[in-house]
Structure 1
Amino acid sequence: MKHKLIFSLLLLMLCFNVSFSQSIQDIINQVSNANLQLRVNELSGEQATVINGVSRTIANRLHSNNDLAADYIEERLSAFPNLTVAVQNFNSTGKNVIATQLGQTNPDNIYMICAHYDSVADYCADDNATGVAAVIEIARIMSQQCTDNTIIYALWDEEEIGLLGANFYAQQVADDTNGNTRDNILGVLNMDMIGYDGDAPGTPGDNDFDIDVRPIANSIAIKDDLLTILNTYSFDLNVIVVNPGTPASDHSRFWNQGYSAVLVGESWATNDETPNYHTANDRVVDIDFQYMTELTKLVAAYVATKSGLVALDNMVTQTDTSLMANETAANYQWYNCDTEIEISGATNQTFVPTTTGNYAVELTNGLCTERSSCINFSVLSASEFSEDELHLYPNPMASVLKIDNRTNENLSITIHTISGKTINKFQSEKSYVEVDFKKYASGIYFITIASESKASTFKMVKA
């Protein structure tokens, strides 16, 4: 608890702090190297992850054994605001995961970023956990924005056995027979293997990458837009334009239907692709995450530019006592980021937190809804319970959560799942409380305990 006092003193020395804005450069700056590393490690099975509240390891993503990977992708995308997520079953085993962010001004104008998630062996970090991780990271950032045009984030299955998932989808959206309307997809940007650069990972090098393009529809214009973005903002990248580009990835299925599309990836044109292609030796240790981050930033900038950012200001000003949304003409709802639960009654432009935590505001103006980034706020008073007052154990627990209450006060105890759902709420003034967790699934839970003057939230794990 001592660190809170130090942080509070620092706040007193600052007039205010501003978090989050919405220029193209701000979008670029939000791409997180750490997030990309985490996603690639989880998708390639290098480390366990939580899926549907249970700790799991994605053993591989072979098309016959990748339902767990599909669940992982669906769950991560569903956690972001402003996305509608659907699983498209295109044969007995194939599943595309499609997330749609509807444009506010021109919803029929569609831009798509995509990658395939299936593999041919264990691990396959570069092929193509890197592309999937980039799509998820861009969706995380852009889903917090309102856009003029629609963005589709698509993760394809069964690319490795014939581009089947992308082919099915492209044929469906292009079909204009029997009263169907052809989808107005203005650009498809496919990411396939974006993590390998022949120099040692993290060291300066040539950072070559390919844009594969063909003169089909307006594909050349997508390439030109990417070159303009490269010259407008700062990237540590060197572009190689390949024309005619390879048809050996999902973008080509959109070429077949007369759509504009390009492939962005590491430089096969200069023989600078992973040497462990299509083997179980394609491991995270060989990924150059700084190079991958640069490519993700480029694609994020393209998506933000072409989708058109709506001018809703979701910046937040922080003082030593309050948080204030900068947007003056909107409806407001403040959230506790630690539990992902909206704060009852916190619907004004200014919010005064009573407990230390992470907070965000959701703004709604007409059809446009955006959420700010989460802001760490430390209250100046000692409003949380000390370790001497409350003790929750064991952590992890097997079936029973034990609470030692040394406050001599009546406590309100609320239990939330990791998704924010309240599963139990009760009051107790006993000095010792046991909570039965036998009926709950393994995973992460948040326990919020409050008295009349104090409140704390504890992160607990059921094994």
Structure 2
Amino acid sequence: MKKEIIAALFLAATLPVFAQKPVEKGLQSISQESAKATIGFLASDELEGREAGTRGGRIAAEYIVSQLRLMNIQPLDESYYQPFEAYRKERQQKGRWQVHPDSIALIKGGVHKRLNLKNILAKIEGKNPNEYVIVGAHYDHLGIDPTLVGDCIYNGADDNASGVSAVLQLAKAFLVCGQQPERTIIFAFWDGEESGLLGSSYFVQNCQFIQSVKGYLNYDMIGRNTNEAKPQLVDYFYTQAHPAFGDWLKGDIQKYKLKLEPIYHAWDKPVGGSDNGSFAKAGIPIIWYHTNAHPDYHQPSDEASRINWEKVVEITKASYLNLWRLANEKSY
């Protein structure tokens, strides 16, 4: 009898775990501890602001790849890295960094500069390997300015170590959930965003299956508050032709009691602001989380100590639920 009572008590204690839905298993894996680990490392002084093409940027890339390997998330191709080059005219001439072959050909006709950069691309393969959704964030920032008086490192904790932390947490959540998605999910970490959306532009230009990408979810700054009196505010941009994207978030906030107060921006073609623009120009539906500018935006004071950790986690949870639907619903 004693053994039967113990067995019954054990079953009662574990029943909620067994009954838990896959989507909720993944949701519960998202934590402040994981966010703090990633943002703390990427925004540390030792990485010197992660400017594209610098030693700090390369260390950041190695860290991200190490986390993907630790989770056993497979690379999109043979390597996690997608190397590419960007060119621009020498510094006394007007112009921006370019990755398009036609622009590069023109620039090479004169005195020019070159950057060696690399995106990081990983995947969880779906049941339908011919359809894709992508979640991405840029991992570069503004580097270091030794001529600044005082703090000379642009740590980029919010911009965009916070976004990188979310992409890594979503990768883990989809593993933890234990269910293969219908569509293949690509986890992307873009290089060179601060220099002109270089990494995401290069990817879109060279992606052989771009017409099979059904949606793109973007993060750029999800850890701060523009209005300190309303810390739960978040700007939620999405493609206007897909009103379901707005309905998803409204429903999930209510169902899961997420501590967010979104400002909904339905945009005909959301091409501005961040790496979402590269995908919107290609006609791909997008969702973009952004907490807008704040006094530390593009300043050395954008440090991990100023991050709103609860906000990072709540946005990561909300976007995980977005990605779940992007990857699994037949139509939206």
Name which of 188, 191, 201 aligns with 1:154: 188
One-letter amino acid matched to 2:201: N
The 5 Å alignment of 1:334-373 reads: none
Residues 219 and 262, structure 1, Cα contact 8 Å, conserved in 2: no
Name which of 124, 131, 135 aligns with 2:156: 124
Residues 231 and 311, structure 2, Cα contact 8 Å, conserved in 1: no
Name which of 83, 108, 114 aligns with 2:74: 83
Query: C-alpha displacement at 1:101, in angstroms?
Result: 0.7
Cα distance in 2 for partners of 1:181, 1:148 equals 17
Q: Which has the higher helix share?
A: 2
Deviations 1:7-55 (A, max 9, x none): xxxx999636645754323322221111101110011116xxxxxxxxx
The reply to whether residue 101 of structure 1 matches residue 133 of structure 2 is no
Deviations 1:325-353 (A, max 9, x none): xxxxxxxxxxxxxxxxxxxxxxxxxxxxx
Name which of 262, 275, 281 aligns with 1:256: 281
Cα distance in 2 for partners of 1:288, 1:246 equals 27
Cα distance in 2 for partners of 1:221, 1:262 equals 11
Instruction: Say which one has the larger Rg.
Output: 1
The 5 Å alignment of 1:250-289 reads: 250-266=275-291, 268=292, 273-289=293-309
Residues 81 and 143, structure 1, Cα contact 8 Å, conserved in 2: no
Name which of 238, 241, 244 aligns with 2:261: 238
Cα distance in 1 for partners of 2:273, 2:116 equals 22
How has the CA–CA distance of structure 1 residues 182 and 195 changed in structure 2, closer, same or farther, with 3 Å as cutoff?
closer
How has the CA–CA distance of structure 1 residues 240 and 42 changed in structure 2, closer, same or farther, with 3 Å as cutoff?
same
* TM-score (ref. length: structure 2): 0.75
SS in 2 for 1:306: helix
Query: C-alpha displacement at 1:198, in angstroms?
Result: 4.8
* Map of 2:47 onto structure 1: 58
How has the CA–CA distance of structure 1 residues 230 and 95 changed in structure 2, closer, same or farther, with 3 Å as cutoff?
same
How has the CA–CA distance of structure 1 residues 103 and 120 changed in structure 2, closer, same or farther, with 3 Å as cutoff?
same
* Map of 1:369 onto structure 2: none
Q: Which has the higher strand share?
A: 1
Percent of matched pairs sharing the same residue: 26
Residues 212 and 242, structure 1, Cα contact 8 Å, conserved in 2: yes
Name which of 220, 223, 226 aligns with 1:192: 220
Residues 35 and 137, structure 1, Cα contact 8 Å, conserved in 2: yes
Query: C-alpha displacement at 1:254, in angstroms?
Result: 0.5
Deviations 1:166-198 (A, max 9, x none): 01111222xxxxxx5544111101000000025
Residues 137 and 190, structure 2, Cα contact 8 Å, conserved in 1: yes
Cα distance in 2 for partners of 1:60, 1:28 equals 31
Residues 73 and 171, structure 2, Cα contact 8 Å, conserved in 1: no
* TM-score (ref. length: structure 1): 0.54
Query: C-alpha displacement at 1:231, in angstroms?
Result: 3.4
Cα distance in 2 for partners of 1:219, 1:161 equals 30
Name which of 7, 12, 15 aligns with 2:10: 15
One-letter amino acid matched to 1:88: Q
SS in 2 for 1:31: coil
Query: C-alpha displacement at 1:220, in angstroms?
Result: 4.1
Cα distance in 2 for partners of 1:220, 1:209 equals 18
SS in 1 for 2:186: strand
One-letter amino acid matched to 2:52: H
Residues 133 and 215, structure 2, Cα contact 8 Å, conserved in 1: yes
In structure 2, stretches of 5+ residues that fail to align are 1-5, 86-114, 144-153
Cα distance in 2 for partners of 1:88, 1:126 equals 24
SS in 2 for 1:280: coil
SS in 1 for 2:193: coil
Query: C-alpha displacement at 1:205, in angstroms?
Result: 4.0
Cα distance in 2 for partners of 1:181, 1:76 equals 26
The reply to whether residue 172 of structure 1 matches residue 161 of structure 2 is no
One-letter amino acid matched to 2:33: A
Cα distance in 1 for partners of 2:272, 2:247 equals 19
Query: C-alpha displacement at 1:73, in angstroms?
Result: 0.7
RMSD, matched Cα: 2.5
Query: C-alpha displacement at 1:60, in angstroms?
Result: 2.4
* Map of 2:97 onto structure 1: none
How has the CA–CA distance of structure 1 residues 265 and 224 changed in structure 2, closer, same or farther, with 3 Å as cutoff?
same
How has the CA–CA distance of structure 1 residues 29 and 197 changed in structure 2, closer, same or farther, with 3 Å as cutoff?
same
Residues 108 and 183, structure 1, Cα contact 8 Å, conserved in 2: no
* Map of 2:175 onto structure 1: 143
Cα distance in 1 for partners of 2:216, 2:271 equals 15
Matched residues, number: 272
* Map of 2:105 onto structure 1: none
Cα distance in 2 for partners of 1:227, 1:261 equals 17
